[in-house]
Amino acid sequence: MGIEMKPKLTHNTLLQELLEKYEETFEILYPYGLNKLIENDILEIVAPRLTLEGFFRLFDISEEDRDKIWKEINKIVKKYSAMYEI
């Protein structure tokens, strides 16, 4: 039995982890390029290797949109993080 770490968002968080642990991120990332990964049938291939920062770069997401996405996802992660507090 391992120790579960409190959830934390970093730019190195993998896309797969975001989509599996925080389902709400699907709707956030979909219009920014996730839809293209699905349409091209490559999500399963790239998600385990692609970080959030890599996603931003791959789809040339503006700084303004990056900030917006970061805040929305961080809010979700913090919500889940609160569940780990005693």
pLDDT by 10-residue block (mean), the chain, 86 residues: 66 96 96 98 98 98 98 93 70
pTM as predicted:
0.86
Angle made by CA atoms 21, 25, 27, in degrees to the nearest 5 = 135
- pLDDT 10s digits, 38-56: 999 999 999 999 999 999 9
Residue written as tokens 């797969």?
A: 16
**What single letter denotes the amino acid at residue 9?**
L
What is the pLDDT, as a whole number, of residue 81?
83
Q: Which ranges constitute the DSSP H helices of 4-62?
A: 15-21, 25-29, 34-39, 43-46, 52-58
